[in-house]
Structure 1
């Protein structure tokens, strides 16, 4: 890696996107299909959109892997900070990750309500409501249309901020379904009853999870003693290390921004979906 001087001011650092985050000539573009979900049993009264990205290489006779992204459009937007579909198209074309169908799910909103957003209620809770919502309401819509592998090793889940906490909790509570996790700047610090993971992770048998975490030096409340987002991510990573998990932590500069996580997505997906014959945990 070439030498790069460290920035003096860590509060507004920007990382540069690599070639896997831009449309490349000769790379087949997958199809993205939009859906509305207006009849949730788990979160009554909410409505939301979700998008399904189907790579050009998808073959119905060969079950595809599955990747679920929270904050759907934020992660899908080709001009945004993450550019998820573009990254997936590039990596599938290069053979760096398997053929996979990706689902980008927006958080729910209550139409016409004074406080319309249901995002924190869905994402920050330490319970199985959200993963149950995915498994019983959203994913059945996908499996009815597409051939999806059933092995949990071929299901991944990703999110940032509260979505990162949500992705971690979904896999933690349902490792029989999701076993590959990406969490960017995860909101462990604002879980309603506190962050259970530093104590919980080493106290139970190790779960068959592969986990990629990203944290920022200047994340929210980085120099405060309570609800410190950086410190909570570091404590979760330390617990994973002490418990022998297959995990990777990338610590970057900058504040609570999706830029670094977006830049990292290609490498995170390569690491997450590497062959099980490669046991290195990075």
Structure 2
């Protein structure tokens, strides 16, 4: 089937382009609003000395008899903000109500703060590292507080993780290291170039058996250092996308204009979720997979 895309002129000046949000990123009059609960994490074994907030967004159509999908958002406060660039809870409510997305619990997790430290922000330590600390933290300290309260499917095809900038490479790393849990990934303007030792993924993707991941990447033509030989955000995202293509992954890359801004990725979120959760060719129905309650 052919999809026809309306003509839209490309901007000549790419330095300051802003995308307009579609209807799925705005509250709709007849769509029921989900309930958001705020919680604190003050005693982490994986990241000792850190505190953080996280939020659980429960869709209005959640039914405990039908285990829900799970979608984790890193930098949770930014993604939850209904007036921000991403508006993820609004998007979830609209897509679930329309049936474009199964009932999905949104888990919004902030990076840690080191209390009393001269450098309190733990974000880059958590998000840029190539190790399993972040995904272990999510799986052992945060997600159990969701599964204890709500019925969540155990099918990893129904677990997703999303992040932008350093959160984008963190989401990729979490799924790469634990594809037995996360198989749907969104990375926007990912800061692969900031990873200690450099971006490992072109080499890792080429050298490892293909993992059961579905990956949505967004990159910007005028991202940081876009025309420089070192620390080039655009180039490193393209290198990862090329490696995924050569390895035969189920992935999608969307290039936009503008700089290092969450605007374009936020506008794309509804389409990214529809694409990630589209039916696959696995003949085993999702409803027959194991479930967590």
Residues 76-119 of structure 1, C-alpha deviation per residue, up to 9 Å, x if partnerless? 00000100000000000000011010100000001232111000
Counterpart of 1:259? 263
Counterpart of 1:67? 71
Distance 2:116 2:43 in 1: 16
Counterpart of 1:204? 208
Counterpart of 2:55? 51
Structure 1: gaps spanning 5 or more residues: none
Distance 2:11 2:228 in 1: 22
Distance 1:259 1:239 in 2: 26
User: Given the alignment of the two structures, is residue 184 of structure 1 paired with residue 202 of structure 2, yes or no?
Assistant: no
Counterpart of 1:231? 235
Please give the secondary structure, in 2, of the residue aligned with 1:194. Answer: coil
Stretches (4+) displaced over 6 A: none
For residue 2 of structure 1, report the CA deviation from its aligned partner. Answer: 2.6
Distance 2:75 2:15 in 1: 24
Distance 1:8 1:175 in 2: 41
Distance 2:269 2:281 in 1: 22
Counterpart of 1:112? 116
Residues 116-142 of structure 1, C-alpha deviation per residue, up to 9 Å, x if partnerless? 100000000000000000000000000
For residue 41 of structure 1, report the CA deviation from its aligned partner. Answer: 0.4
Distance 1:6 1:153 in 2: 36
Distance 1:2 1:180 in 2: 29
Please give the secondary structure, in 2, of the residue aligned with 1:10. Answer: coil
Counterpart of 1:164? 168
Distance 1:140 1:166 in 2: 20
Count of residue pairs the alignment pairs up: 278
User: Given the alignment of the two structures, is residue 195 of structure 1 paired with residue 199 of structure 2, yes or no?
Assistant: yes
Note the aligned Cα RMSD (angstroms).
0.9
* Among candidates 222, 238, 245, match of residue 218 of structure 1: 222
Structure 2: gaps spanning 5 or more residues: 283-293
Distance 1:118 1:223 in 2: 29
Counterpart of 1:98? 102
Residues 190-249 of structure 1, C-alpha deviation per residue, up to 9 Å, x if partnerless? 101111111110111000000000000000110111110000000000000000000000
